[in-house]
Amino acid sequence: MEQLRIGVIFWFLSLSVIGQTTYLINDFSDVYKGKLIIDQGYEEEVFKKGTVIILEKLSEKEVVAISSEELTFSLNEEGEVETGVVSLPYGEQSIIISEDVNFDGVKDIVVMDGQYSCYHGPSYQVYLHREGQLIHSPSFTRLAQEYCGMFQTNNETKTIETMTKSGCCWHQFSQFEVVNNVPVPIEVVEEEYQYLYHITRTKTWRGGRAIEKTERRMNKEGVAIEVLMSFRLSKNQKKVLLFTSEGRLNYVLLKSEGELVEFSFPADNLIDAGRFAIDTSKSKLIFKNKEAIYEIYEKRKQDKVMAVGIYVYVNGKKYHLSGDLSTLQGAMQGISSEKLVNVDG
């Protein structure tokens, strides 16, 4: 008798009709129910060809039907299709999600349509529940197509968050608010690793106006550097840093607080992007870009360093940035003794 009861339950949950496998889905909404039909021959595939159907519970009216070549889903211990699972950014995401995405107090319906998001991840069609019916939203659907999987809602801040990436070294994090049932960006943050530097670009919208900010920091993860010389400028305590990485000399000026990079040379990571020259006395290191000529100096008396600093030549004028001798670490001699591919002299 027990075996018969289990068999009847399973028959209701998973029906085989003309070679197709059908799952009935009832637990995601008080108003709607679902039906998942998997085409014959795809039952054991990771990505299954089939159709997701949403129906009204009372009228049995079909309101949404989406066919896909690549559906994914999980079954619970009772053999039922799991719904409402959203493990971001790379975890499991259910085939049907019932969630209030526009923060109007009514749950909407999100249905998987394949694997069109980043890195062949799950993508969705979004239907807002408005005036007693499901209305497809192209703007919300875009957020579930062009990023990495399903977006995340934050009920406390009434905002939506998305993430996308390209390889190991570029990520984008976006935040949206909902205006008239349309998600509108309020902040986009891009993080990029360019070998020596970690670059953060932030774009925020305030009062309809976009504000952009770019910050660079030293990339301390997985990049080996050797500091040859460093000191702080007397006037503003900004830090001058000369270091090597993979046989190349680099110059960085760090802001007084934290590790923010104000200026660097070479400007990028190309071997021929910029060269240094050290004079015969081994007391001056010179480099130039389109805007200026920079001369880092070290004045010695016998073997003792008496002064350090930088001369900057711009449009025929000479500017002196004196260094705080008490903060000096290393020496110019450490540079001259190195075999560096971008240093002449």
pLDDT tens per residue across span 196-220: 899 999 999 988 899 999 999 988 7
| pLDDT of 14 over the 60 cut | no
pLDDT (average), residues 136-164: 96
Tell me the C-alpha distance between 246 and 237, whole Å.
28
Residues with Cβ < 8 Å from 77, sequence gap 6 or more?
none
**80 DSSP 8-state letter:** P
pLDDT (average), residues 212-230: 89
List, for residues 273-292, the tens digit of each pLDDT value: 789 999 888 899 999 999 99
CATH class held by domain 226-344: mainly beta
Q: Given this model, what pLDDT does residue 194 score?
A: 85
Which amino acid belongs to residue 325? L
Q: How far is CA 68 from CA 111, 256, 267, in A?
A: 11, 56, 47
| pLDDT of 164 over the 60 cut | yes
Domain ranges of the chain: 2-218, 226-344
In sequence order, the β-bridge partners of residue 332 are none
Average pLDDT, the chain: 90
**200 and 215 in contact (C-beta within 8 Å)?**
yes
List, for residues 36-84, the tens digit of each pLDDT value: 999 999 999 999 999 999 999 999 999 999 999 999 999 988 888 988 7
pLDDT (average), residues 166-174: 93
Tell me the C-alpha distance between 84 and 95, whole Å.
8
pLDDT (average), residues 169-175: 96
For residues 110 and 18, the model is more confident at 110
| pLDDT of 17 over the 80 cut | no
